[in-house]
A and B are shown apart, each in its own frame.
Chain A
Amino acid sequence: MRLGMVIDLYKCIGCRTCAVVCKQVNSQPPGTWWNRVFTPGSQHHQVAPRQTGRLKMSFLPVSCQMCDNPACERVCPVGATYTDEQGVVLVDLERCIGCRYCMSACPYGVRQFNWEDPKQAKEKAGYAKGYTYGYPFPQRDKKGRLVYTPNRPKGITEKCTFCVQYTSKGELPMCVQACPAGARHFGDLDDPNSTVGRLIRERETIRLLEELGTSPKVYYLSPNKPE
């Protein structure tokens, strides 16, 4: 089983709902974003850059690419970053020593460091007193490794987990559930009958920085109108 995602850029409307629900549901502190959406080529989101004299605009959501050959996992000196039996790249939040080698290695800029205690960062942001957000329970994998907790320890790295707290129960990641345009598909890439299996077989797909050999399990469908 290799869990993967296909994002249809032709359907993506750049609304950033996926980025916001991801941030909420995974209890990310202010300034930390596991998922981002931008308008390639443009200084401002939702402003069309000029291309060969015409205005043209598309959107590109980027979160952890869940590489089959993850640079972050190779460089991690303590094996805190690992690939689980479903092909999901996860961080053991209790083992990470905070050396940030994975952040130097990752070409996608998706890894986020806890530069300060996330609880304090949330307090400083000035939310109403007692306000908390995010999935409230810690999540451990089969071997007991802590892969999600609402307030991560200070001084460690974190990133997208494909919403391990939901997908381990057979539910979809929150960005897939919440996308109003239905642009995101999730499932087993090895299963020829899954939607993602069919899409990567039948449609032309793009993977980011494929030349680096990272082999992402996040595939994109072209922003151009399908024939």
Chain B
Amino acid sequence: MKKNNFPLVLSMSLLVISLAAWVYQIQGGLIVTNMRNPFNWGLYIATFAFFVGIAAGGLIVSSSVYLFNLEPLKPFTRIASLTAFASTLGAMLIILPDLGRVDRMFQLFLHPNFSSPLVWDVVVLSTYLVITFLSVYYQLLPDWKPQSKEKAQKAARRVAYVGLPVAVLIHTVTALIFATQGSRHWWNTALLPPDFIAMAVASGTALVMVVMLLTMGKEGLVAHSGAFKILGSIIAGALVVHFFFLAVDLIIHGWWGGPAAEGLFAQLFGRYGALYAVELILLAVVMAYFVTGRKAGSYTGLLLSSLLLFAGVFIHRMMLMFPAFNDIPLHFINTGTGAGWSYPVALGHFQPGMDVFVSFWPYVPSPVEWAVTLLPFGMVGLVIALALRFFRFLPERQVRGASVSSTGYKASVSR
């Protein structure tokens, strides 16, 4: 592979910008964000959910190979595990700037409260980080120590089996952070965990696809068109399932009508209707592209639809926040007129001429929040760029008619 410094330099710059913004935020406090008391989670938590989602790719690809014998995906397992490890790291990182007191993080280990889904998430995400690291390690091991090939292959396989349920758990538990909350209508649904899994399968698979396309180029697409076709089908299937959950969820939220549904739908289709429409259209277009595609698709088509998918999933994560927080739970209905009224919440910030008590907060992330949010992007980029530079993650160039690859890994999966 020819050495291209651009990804490395870009990732490092993102990291430097985000760390500088984070230092600025630590000095001033979270007041430099646009989050306030009535809207206490924003871009950071949405980004966290996004990265947890794209961390799914690794285990999906390797377990597809082991469990469903999808042979064409074999050369992708190394890179898939790598993206999973990097994205999990990114997800865990973006939580840190969201904490008001990151210096007290140790309290999590001294006094964990096991009724909190947040603690469950710390446990499963740490476990997943270790598992994806081991998965990468055991797949690379034969390159360094050819004599330990068989041992490493066995270990890699075991890791993949243990990893699959943990992969399912990170999405389930991340969704449970929201879904358990009875005071937020938009989150409080048992469909949230399965829908998080559907979104994770779609976006995690797309990440593997994008990394493969960018690193192998058009030649790679031609050489591995079968594998790309499978990835496309996985994305298509996951999006179909997502739209099914979405439809069922909207029907259940709306069917009874009444104040709860009205409050939520006023946000979903009223105030945030345009943003919601963009999310739905993006995801629908991507679904249509992958569902209708007979062949693997063109280089540009695959790349573009994957990027549109990321945009759609990111908006979906932001849309977790808007209708949840601006549908204020302490809401009353005037028994005479039927009009709704939300009990105003104090912002936690005083500025002359501005209301302190609000029943709606027009949250838009501040420039500092956007800058800090580059942190996981920089870290994921850096990990992938460094790994690709020093280790062999990509399948070897194919020679027509010859064996697909000479990696020790190939042999490990053929039974």
CB within 8 Å of B: which residues of A?
Answer: 29-33, 36, 38, 40-42, 49-54, 56, 60, 62, 71, 74-80, 95-101, 103-109, 111-117, 121, 124-125, 153-157, 208-209, 212-213
Contact = CB atoms under 8 A, between A and B. Distances in A.
Contacts of B257: none
Contact of A99 (B98, B332, B337): B98
Contact of A209 (B41, B101, B177, B329): B329
Contact of A77 (B118, B324, B329): B118
B183 interface: yes
Contacts of A108: 329-330, 343
Interface in B309-326: 324-325
Nearest to B178: A104
* Interface bracket on B: 35 or more
Output the residue of A42, A104, A105, A208 with the most chain B CB within 10 A. Answer: A104
A114 B108 contact: no
Interface stretch (B23-31, B142-150, B210-218): B23-31
A95 B40 CA distance: 19
A49 B33 CA distance: 36
B349 A96 contact: no
Contacts of A75: 115-118, 180-181
Contacts of A104: 40-41, 181, 184, 324-325
Given A62-B330, A153-B101, A114 B29 contact: yes
Interface string B140-170: 0000000000000000000000000000000
A40 B332 contact: yes
Contacts of A116: 28-31, 349
Interface string B92-104: 0000001111101
Given A33-B346, A77-B112, A78-B108, A99 B118 contact: yes
Contacts of A212: 182-183
Given A33-B356, A109-B328, A109-B345, A155 B111 contact: no
Nearest to A101: B118
Given A40-B341, A77-B119, A97 B31 contact: no
Contact of A32 (B112, B344, B346): B346
Contacts, number: 184
Given A78-B113, A113-B37, A114-B29, A156 B100 contact: yes
A124 B337 CA distance: 42
A31 B347 contact: yes
A114 B29 CA distance: 8
A95 B349 contact: no
6 contacts: A31-B347, A77-B113, A78-B112, A109-B328, A121-B350, A208-B330
A107 B183 CA distance: 5
Interface in B230-276: none
A71 B181 contact: yes
Contact of B107 (A80, A106, A125): A80
B336 interface: yes
A155 B29 contact: yes
A109 B337 contact: no
Q: Which of B36, B37, B102, B334 has the most CB of A within 10 A?
A: B37
B111 A78 contact: yes
Given A32-B348, A97-B104, A154 B29 contact: yes
B308 interface: no
Contacts of A109: 37-38, 328-330, 343, 345-346
Contacts of B337: 49-52
A123 to B, nearest CB: 12
Give the 8 A-B CB pairs with smallest separation, nearest first. A98-B100, A155-B100, A107-B183, A30-B350, A51-B336, A31-B350, A52-B336, A107-B329
A89 to B, nearest CB: 14
B329 A50 contact: no
B111 A79 contact: yes
Nearest to B354: A31
B402 interface: no
A197 to B, nearest CB: 26
Contact of A74 (B100, B111, B115, B350): B115
A113 B183 contact: no
A156 B285 CA distance: 43
B348 A96 contact: no
Nearest to A211: B182
B332 A38 contact: no
Contact of B341 (A41, A156, A157): A41
A53 B335 CA distance: 12
Contact of B348 (A51, A98, A113, A117): A113
Contacts of B183: 71, 105-107, 209, 212
A56 B336 CA distance: 10
B399 interface: no
Contact of A96 (B31, B101, B122, B346): B101
Contacts of B38: 109
Contacts of A101: 116, 118, 177
B264 to A, nearest CB: 14
B357 interface: yes
Contacts of B1: none
